[in-house]
Structure 1
């Protein structure tokens, strides 16, 4: 599930404990989790609802000014399917986000990160790619994944999988649109420059 920045801020602050989506079949279920910059989102329940079952409290607890605003937003969805109420909460900090925020790395830690990238590149079925992707993100923060992939002559989904791999090392951060280097990623890129 994608969340707007203000929704994630509301969830992290405890003001938002539910969201509404239009789905033919929910892609999440109770007990599943999702990593975000705000922390680990835990899905408590997913319930199909009719417009009549959506209350004023639902609207307020999902970040809307009122029920009419929520129903209006849902009616503008281009997706097929019914309305779903997703109850959720923050289950704890995202370890990737904590890792990404740490730019105070020793030379040994930087050398180990470099060795990790070297190993990923050595196992790659195509040419080495890690530094090229990091440089591209560094030079184009906030650019859509499709546009970044196109600049490399690659398909979007495999490119996004590579970025997720770099993110798991704490080197990149997802933005509402596109990516940027994390503080850890910036420290590594400074270290890698001759």
Structure 2
């Protein structure tokens, strides 16, 4: 479930606490969480609703100026149902703090090395991707895909795995190494940090 940047600001200050989506089946569930650019959201409720039952309060709480504006935004597109999603901001994304941890000891480096080795189990790729991202802030998934000869969707999934380890972060276009990633890369074993691309 994605939100536009302007709406994220309203979510951050608590003005927006609802969203409406037309889905074949919900992509979030009550009690689950959703990571966004402004932190982690707690999904409080997900319920199917009828467009004719939407209210002015629904519109206000979802960031629209009127019920009519909300109704225009939820016109069905194909099969499925309209869902009302209630949420609140739970807190900061824990990956943000992890990315800033750039004082790494031997235990941290051993843990990172083991994690990267698991990711490399079927085909080594972590070293090549970390090197490419480290060469220039804003390196894109398209550039990485061409360099390591993988499809862009596969590259994006793999970069998300590096992000989970706190090693990379997304920019408005492309990626860069986080402070943790910059600190870790030179210290990682040669097998991880300087293997040749396949």
Q: Mark yes or no: TM-score above 0.5.
A: yes
Q: Contact 2:44–2:88 (CA<8 Å) still a contact in 1?
A: yes
> For the residues of structure 2 that align with 1:177 and 1:72, how far apart are their CA atoms?
30
User: Gaps (5+ residues) in structure 1?
Assistant: none
Deviation at 1:171, TM superposition (A): 1.8
Which has the greater radius of gyration? Answer: 2
TM-score when normalising by structure 2: 0.75
- 1:89 is matched with 88
> For the residues of structure 1 that align with 2:114 and 2:171, how far apart are their CA atoms?
27
**Do structure 1's residue 133 and structure 2's residue 129 form an aligned pair?**
yes
> For the residues of structure 2 that align with 1:54 and 1:181, how far apart are their CA atoms?
44
Deviates more, 1:24-33 or 1:176-185: 176-185
The RMSD of aligned alpha carbons is 3.1
Deviation at 1:140, TM superposition (A): 6.0
Deviation at 1:174, TM superposition (A): 3.8
- 3-state SS, counterpart of residue 119 of structure 1: helix
Aligned residue among 150, 153, 163 for 2:149: 153
> For the residues of structure 2 that align with 1:78 and 1:177, how far apart are their CA atoms?
29
Deviates more, 1:14-23 or 1:153-162: 153-162
- 1:57 is matched with 57
- 3-state SS, counterpart of residue 25 of structure 1: coil
Q: Contact 2:48–2:84 (CA<8 Å) still a contact in 1?
A: yes
Alignment of 1:3-152 (within 5 A): 3-75=3-75, 78=77, 80-100=79-99, 102=100, 105-106=102-103, 109=104, 114-123=109-118, 124-138=120-134, 139=136, 141=138, 143=140, 145=141, 148-152=144-148
Q: Contact 2:145–2:151 (CA<8 Å) still a contact in 1?
A: yes
Deviates more, 1:119-128 or 1:36-45: 119-128
Runs of 4+ in 1 over 6 A off after TM superposition: 190-194
Deviation at 1:61, TM superposition (A): 1.5
The structure-2 alpha-carbon separation of the partners of 1:134 and 1:9, relative to structure 1 and needing over 3 Å to count, comes to farther
The structure-2 alpha-carbon separation of the partners of 1:187 and 1:79, relative to structure 1 and needing over 3 Å to count, comes to farther
User: Gaps (5+ residues) in structure 2?
Assistant: none
TM-score when normalising by structure 1: 0.77
Q: How many residues align?
A: 188
